[in-house]
Amino acid sequence: MKNTGFKILLSVFLLFSALGRANADEGMWLWMSLNKNYNEMREKGLKLTPDDIYNINHASLKDAVVSLRFCTAEFVSPDGLMFTNHHCAYSAIQEHSSPDHDYLTDGFWAGNRNEELPASGVTASILIRMEDVSNRVLADVNEEMSPVERAKSVQAKMKEIMAEAEEGNDYRTEVKSMLAGNQYLLFVYETYEDVRLVGAPPSSIGKFGGDADNWEWPRHTGDFSVLRVYTAPDGSPAAYSEENIPYKPRKYFPVSLKGVKEGDFSMVMGFPGRTQRYLSSYGIELAQKVSNPARIKARTRILDIIKESMNSSDDLRIKYAARYSQISNYWKYFIGQNEGLERLQVIDGKKAGEKAFQDWADASPERKERYGHLLENMAEVYKTLAGFDLYVQYLNEAVFAPKPMILAYRAKRLDALLKDEDMGEDRMKEAIEKMRGQAESVYEDYDRETERRLLAAGMELFYEGVPHDQISPEIHALHKKFKGDWDKYASYVFRKSFFDSKDEFMAFLDNPGSKKLEKDPFFRIVNYTLDPYFEQIMPKRRAAQSELAELQRLYIEGLMKMYPDKNFYPDANSTPRLTYGNVKGYRPRDAVDYDYFTTMKGIMEKEDPSDPEFVVSPVLKKLYKEKNFGPYAKNGSMHVAFISNNDITGGNSGSPVINGNGELIGIAFDGNWEAMTGDLVFDEQYKRCINVDIRYVLFVIDKFAGAGHIIDELSLVN
């Protein structure tokens, strides 16, 4: 009886969580659609109006929040200065690091603007406006259309709307599907390419705790960095140039020195990456029982190889630092997600919610005709997808782990051009030059032996993990020829391939030939693994995904009719969102009570000179011992991080955490272990957003780094 009662309560919780208003703190809300939430936000402590947050006619908070594509940043000065996370700028820090100038270990602080370093590949996009274009996108759609016909009509309208919005300007636009195609929004951005690194703490601060503390609370990480956006002299977006000037934002955040206390209002604005809160029990089951275990197994092996190389020399540590960090972040996430799905019994809860939907659909002939078949059909589609999932996971996570594989894949287009008798000389030159640029990137942080070991592990994982009837005869033949010794095979590939070194590959591009390319063992692996996918798996998988998309659209349409009074929020999809809540601790286990903040005392308690993840800088220890905290401490205690119950996910890294007055109080950088299910289901009890306290950021910049000129740019509020 107790277990049954729990499942009933859980199913109600999970169902209403998916519907968007399980509690006041759940929901990733569109900036332009806050009127329905406004009273609730005011009750929690918001002092601003919706127009203060989003307005296209005058400066508002939207103008101070920046998309870095995979992270978020915020303007904090009138001269384009931005705060974001240390891990968001990690590639830029690595780019300029070497054993002689090890900014990863030592940190970097530009003494003036001439010393600021280009952050290659980092762009800053600022939202100009968003608009609901659902009626236009769906204008030609009718019920007689097949899913394919509907998709073609929708795509054509989306392209038309984007082209219209881009006419006569340099804006970047996108039309995004919301609520599985029940709504469509246009987003218009202005994107700036010249972004520069201004400052970053050493990894002993910016990555303090490393993998051990990742996704954990209590946290003592100063996960921040400082960037600046530059424009052409006339203020327009431009590529890097010494003539460029700092960007002048329409709005920037004042920085609060007041600190936070439990219960304070907190708001996070940013660009969360992807959630699937409306996923069915069948989708959850696929993730929990098939996809995640494969990802975890593959990433564990890959990370072990990279870590061993990084430990062998400073050169390799720097070369592979960003790559290791990227892979390990979601390796641990997938582990935590599976633990959370099991703990919450999410599959059982989803099934109970689906039964309620089925009962609602069956209660009316009209509803039964439109919605009664959805769940049964979903189950069949997911069976199809599950049959191919291991191939997809091990192909992505294992086979393509070594860098030369990516280059060999990109060479397939070159191969097609070489075989095209009508191909013009200009097209060939363009393709070759493009590959030269791609090769520069691939071989920039490259170690032949590390990549060889990754190939051996990747092939072994693929061969052991994928159903053998899906593996090509050529891969089976290689396994037989090398007697299952994939390490021996990898050595052969690197010995015979011209993809194994930059010089050899560039020499090939000087005189490319299709026959030579097709004989290359790396290129053959690409064909042996991708051809079966493209020819046999992808068509069936795409058909299943297309059918699933239509089923999901109707399912959410039905849910909105089933609960007409609910305020639905769309799943995150890298579009601008706002989430609100309060600063709040939590109790994860019996007799364990987590406070809402951490202090520098915890850094000293965690110090372990023998563990690179818990090294503490002598300078930081001296400042702590002397209590030299400047104006940033509270009652002689230097706060480091705090937690709030804001609803966030990947992409929110670097997001501004804002108080009720619109002042910056922190920078979001992580979620907590107990709520790793967050992308799939909101955990009302445990979900927390981990934020670096803005006062610790200021303390590190000012007292630790001595970069007072950065503090001088800010608008500090007491």
- CB of 73 within 8 A of CB of 227? yes
**What angle is formed at CA 716 by the lines to CA 715 and CA 717, rounded to 5 degrees?**
120
For 117, 199, 263, the CA distances from 579, given in Å and listed in that order, are 33, 28, 16
Asked if residues 205 and 607 have their Cβ atoms less than 8 Å apart, the reply is no
Helix (H, G, I), strand (E, B) or coil at 121: coil
Chain position carrying tokens 């291991």: 390
Q: Which residues contact 116 (CB under 8 A, 6 or more apart)?
A: 110, 196, 197, 198, 228
> Is the alpha carbon torsion for 398, 501, 98, 93 positive or negative?
negative
What are the respective helix, strand and coil percentages of the chain, to the nearest 5?
Answer: 50, 15, 35
Between the alpha carbon of residue 86 and those of residues 73, 220, 522, the distances in Å are 11, 13, 35
Annotated catalytic residue within 11, 67, 574, 653: 653
Contact 551, 381 (CB under 8 A): yes
Question: Rounded CA gap, 646 and 265, in Å?
Answer: 10
**Bond prior to 218 in cis (omega within 30° of 0):** yes
Active-site entry in 11, 25, 87, 280: 87
CA distance 264 to 240: 41
Tokens representing 712?
Answer: 């001088």
Active site (annotated) includes residue 617: no
Answer whether 454's CB lies under 8 Å from 305's CB.
Answer: yes
The 8-class DSSP code of residue 667 comes to E
Distance, CA of 197 to CA of 242 (rounded, Å): 14
As a whole number of angstroms, the distance between CA 59 and CA 467 comes to: 56
Q: What is the CA radius of gyration of the chain?
A: 26
Instruction: Find residue 109's DSSP bridge partners.
Output: 199
Q: Which of 223, 264, 447, 500 is catalytic?
A: 223
What's the per-residue H, E or C state across 581-643?
Answer: EEECCEEEECCEEECCEEEHHHHHHHCCCCCHHHCCCHHHHHHHHHCCCHHHCECCECEEEEE
Least Cα distance to 653 among 26, 81, 86, 94 occurs for 86
Q: Any idea how long the chain is?
A: 718
| Residues 138-151: b if buried by 16+ CB within 10 A, e if exposed | beeeeeeeeeeebb
223 given a catalytic annotation: yes
CA distance 487 to 491: 6
Active site residue 87: yes
Whole-angstrom distance, CA of residue 665 vs CA of residue 596: 14
Compute the distance between CA of residue 551 and CA of residue 554 in angstroms, rounded to an integer: 5
**Catalytic positions, please?**
87, 223, 653
